[in-house]
Structure formats: C-alpha cells, structure tokens
Amino acid sequence: MGLNSRRANWWLYGVLTVGLVAVVAPFVWMVLGSFKTEGELRQSPPTWWPQDGTLDNYTQLFSRLDFGGYFTNSVIVAAAVTAGNLLFCSMLGYAFAMLEFRGKRALFVVVMTTLMIPGVVTFVPLFVLVANAGLVNTLPGLFLPFLVSPFGVFLMRQFIIGLPKDLVDAARVDGSGELGIFARIILPLCGPALATLGILTFLGSWNNFLWPLVVAQTEDTYTLPVALALYSTGQNSTNYGLLLAGATVVVLPVLVVFLVFQRRFIEGIATTGIK
C-alpha cells in the first residue's frame, strides 16, 4: 500500500503540473507576446521567447490610443463602486444583523430574491433611465447603478451577525447614539469582511463589460475592457501585438492585487460561494 500510494503520488504531481502549465501558459504567452513584433506574432510555429523584444506595442497603446485614459476611467469607476458598496452595504447589513425595525423581514426577502437577477434583464430600461437623466457617456452613468449590491448586504450581514450583540447593548447603556454605535463600534470590527467585499467589488467592477459597453459610447468614457473589446473587433483587430499589450494592461494590475491579497480572496470565495 505504502509503495503503491507513493507511486500514485508522483503520477498525481505530474498531472497537476501539466494542468498548472496549461492554466498559466496563456498568461505567460500574453505577456511575452506583448513584447514581440507583428511579424514574429504571425510566425508558424509560434515563438515562445521574443526574438527581438520591443516596447512599440506599449508606446502605441499609450500614445496613438488612449489606454492611459481608459485606465483612469476604470480606476475611477471601480473606486466609486467599491466605496459605495462598502458604506451602504455595511449600513444595511448592520441593520439586518443587529437592529429590530418594522418591515425588516419583508425588506430582507426582497433584497435576497434579487441576488440572482442577471444584468442582462435590467440593462435595457436602465439605459432608458440613464439616458433620460442625461448620464449616457458619463462616468456617473457607469458607476451609479452599481453603488449597492444585494451580495454586499448579504456578506456584511453574515459577518456582523457573528459579532457579540453585548457590544451594542453595552454601548447603549453608556449612552451612545444608534448611528454612533454603528460608526464607532461595529464598523471598526468589520475589517476582514470589508476587505473581502472591497476586493471582490473592485474586481467585479474592473472586469465588468456589458453595462460599460452600453453606456460608454465615445473614447473619453471607455473603460479598459470596453476599449479592448472594441479594438479587438474593430479597426485594430489584426494588430496582434497591440491587442496583447492591451490585454496585459487589463490583466496585470488585477493579477498583482490578487497575488498580494490571495488569502482573503480565497477565503471570501469559500465562505460566500460567490465570486
């Protein structure tokens, strides 16, 4: 048995390593490819390491195209969406977890049933709403509809419900106001949950595509995924090096954030089950 299981073990390491290479290789190829010339990218068979590395693709990306601007737009939208979710979802999450109020159960049911509503259901009337408010092709038009999410409320409620309720009662005895208790006692204890929600929300906004595609109609409001998708299907669709450099610019910041905060990411996924 012992020998047998050791042999099985090496076999397993082999399979897992092949799997790991298959999963990671596209990213490595993307980054290396972004430093290749057009000619090299069209070679068959494809090369792995750049033969004569060039920064041309990146120079073009930030001079001929405005990827610096799209990057800024993505950051602004993601930051606004994250800030809104952290604040508003923790407020309601606290009310659901610790306070008694009329209509609590009904409100909770409504919020939870909308957890599963796909974005494709609401984008047409949402566009009409945003268009009538004059917000098409503006950054607020991109982030306002995403400032709150049922998922965020659920995550914060689940965390706060695990905190001792005595904290709240004791603060009341000491004469703290209800809102003060939330701001000064509960919120500082929510660090881990806020970090998880913040990371997941920022990431979701950074990668969001359908809504920005609908609302951002000229280059000055494009976010990175919109710009990349439209260039890859439009005029620059045959400009391989440029597209790989663009994909690298979209993916790399997220990859770095992920590697730094990976433990919190994975715990967040495992406990909530939602990415």
Partner 1 sequence: MTATTAPPASAGASAARAEGRAAWILALPFCLLFLAFTAWPVLQSLFMSFTDTRSRDLRTPFAVDFVGLDNYTKAFADPVFRRAMLNTAYFVLVGVPLTLTIALAAAVALNRGIHRFRSVFRLGFYTPVITSIVAVAVVWRFLLQEDAGLVNTVLGWVGIDGPNWLGDQHWSMPALILMATWRNFGTGMIIFLAGLQSVPWQLHEAAAIDGASAWQRFRHVTLPMLRPTILFVSVTTGIGYLQFFEEPFVMTSGGPLNSTISMSMYTYNQFGFGNYGYAASLSYVIFVLVAVVTAIQFRLLREGD
Q: Is 195 in the site for partner 1 (CB under 8 A)?
A: no
| Residue number with CB closer to partner 1 (162 or 270) | 270
Q: Is 145 in the site for partner 1 (CB under 8 A)?
A: yes
Distances (CA, A) of 227 to 100, 156, 204: 47, 33, 17
List the structure tokens of 121: 């259901």
Q: Is 106 in the site for partner 1 (CB under 8 A)?
A: no
| Residue number with CB closer to partner 1 (233 or 235) | 233
Q: Which of 32, 75, 76, 87 binds partner 1 (CB under 8 A)?
A: 87
Question: Least distance in Å: CB of 75 to partner 1?
Answer: 14
Distances (CA, A) of 184 to 72, 117, 180, 195, 253: 33, 34, 6, 18, 33
Per CB under 8 A, contacts with partner 1 among 171-190 are 172-173, 175-180, 182-183
Helix ranges (DSSP H) in the chain: 2-33, 38-41, 56-63, 67-84, 90-98, 104-113, 119-132, 139-143, 150-160, 166-173, 178-181, 187-189, 191-207, 210-215, 224-233, 240-272
Site string for partner 1, 231-250 (x = CB under 8 A): -xx------x--xx-xx--x
Distances (CA, A) of 128 to 24, 60, 148, 155, 243: 41, 36, 20, 31, 32
Q: Is 209 in the site for partner 1 (CB under 8 A)?
A: yes
Q: Which of 71, 151, 154, 265 binds partner 1 (CB under 8 A)?
A: 265
Site string for partner 1, 49-78 (x = CB under 8 A): ------------------------------
Per CB under 8 A, contacts with partner 1 among 3-22 are 8-9, 12-13, 15-16, 19-20, 22
DSSP code at position 146: G
